[in-house]
Homo-oligomer: A and B are copies of this chain.
Amino acid sequence: MASGKPASGEDSLIARYFRPLATDPGAFRLDDDAAALKPDGSDIVVTTDAIVEGVHFLPDDPPDAVARKALRVNLSDLAAKGATPAGFVLTLALRSADEAWLKPFAAALGEDAAQFACPLLGGDTVSTPGPLMVSVTAFGRVPPGRMVHRSGAKPGERVMVTGTIGDAALGLAILRGGKVHAAASDKAVREALIGRYRVPQPRVAMAEIVRGHASAAMDVSDGLAGDLTKLCGVSGVSAVIDLVSIPRSDSAQDLVSRGVVGLETLIAGGDDYEILCTLPEDRVEAFAQDANRVGVAVSSIGTIIAGSAVPKFIDGQGREITLDRRSYSHF
């Protein structure tokens, strides 16, 4: 994303829309081939997530929502690892230099970069004959050795999750039409659920709190059930989850109560971008208080147990439910 004298198409686009975002001194005004992250004794946490039109977002999703989603899915990873945002680089594969799309995209990206203190450091803009793709690599800082891992969950620990689960999956179902769209007759409800799908709310405020308390953590991106299964697998443990205690928004609860969707739809749907973590029992209260202080609701949803079985999900009648599908897989 470097640009010099000749106003070739790519260079002038970069200058016009992205240079104003490159406020960090390490971005060198996007005038160079590379950016620089200064050492401050921290470990640099690196995460990368790409979103593809027609796969991770819909072709008619507004450009500002696409920009926010591309950055926020990465900010969500940093938060779950206990890392404070430090910056990001952007790779943008575009069919054409459509200014009506680029202008709101860059404006929203700049707003989010400012809001989450995660400046644009550099990038690459390429043409593609295929679907639009936005790839972000984001950087965060943690004190040395303090990144929170997926591994580390131990038997007896509590399983916690932030916010509410399943709203984004319902938002996507509404956008696709069908029974959820028909059942969600209230426009405000529909828009709120669609908003959860299109524009995740990364739990950046939780980074330090996760780092201070959690034994293991990850963000919920591919579905709570599948992501918990991954966390348990890497930690070498299992879990028992109380389905009824999984936090749901009023809108989600309404759709469940009316039998429009089952709880399994909520926990296998993905795109939540909440934080899933495990805590020793004696940390639960302090964790909840700290989360409350930054305005984030947290819920205890189950317990880590010994073993290598996939986590069990128990319904309100004490029966284990069978999940046909635990998470999203690309292939």
Residues of A within 8 A of B (CB): 2-6, 8-11, 13, 28, 31-52, 54-56, 77-78, 80-81, 83, 89-91, 93-94, 96-97, 121-131, 133, 135, 137, 139-140, 142, 144, 147, 149-151, 218-219, 226, 229-234, 310, 326-327, 329-331
A222 to chain B: closest CB distance in Å?
9
What residues on B are CB-neighbors of A326 within 8 Å? 6
Contact of A34 among B6, B37, B81 (CB under 8 A): B81
**Most B C-beta atoms less than 10 A away, residue of A32, A121, A229:** A32
Task: Verify B233–A135 contact, CB threshold 8 A.
Answer: no
Number of identical protomers: 2
List the 5 closest pairs (A to B, CB-CB), nearest first: A130-B130, A5-B233, A4-B230, A9-B331, A8-B329
Most chain B CB within 10 A, of A38, A226, A327, A329, is at A329
**11 more A-B contacts (CB under 8 A) besides A11-B329, A51-B126, A130-B130?**
A4-B233, A6-B230, A9-B330, A32-B81, A34-B147, A55-B128, A55-B129, A93-B133, A96-B331, A124-B135, A130-B131
| Closest beta carbon of chain B to A121's beta carbon, Å | 6
**What CA separation (Å) do A124 and B31 show in the bound complex?**
27
Are B50 and A230 touching (Cβ within 8 A)?
A: no
Closest residue of chain B to A89 (Cβ to Cβ) is B48
- Chain B residue at minimal CB-CB distance from A47: B34
Query: Judging by beta carbons under 8 Å apart, are A127 and B6 in contact?
Result: no
Can you spell out 23 A-B residue pairs with CB atoms less than 8 angstroms apart?
A: A4-B234, A5-B229, A6-B310, A6-B326, A10-B329, A31-B234, A32-B150, A34-B47, A37-B44, A39-B39, A39-B43, A39-B44, A39-B144, A46-B137, A49-B124, A50-B91, A50-B126, A52-B130, A55-B126, A55-B129, A96-B331, A128-B131, A129-B130
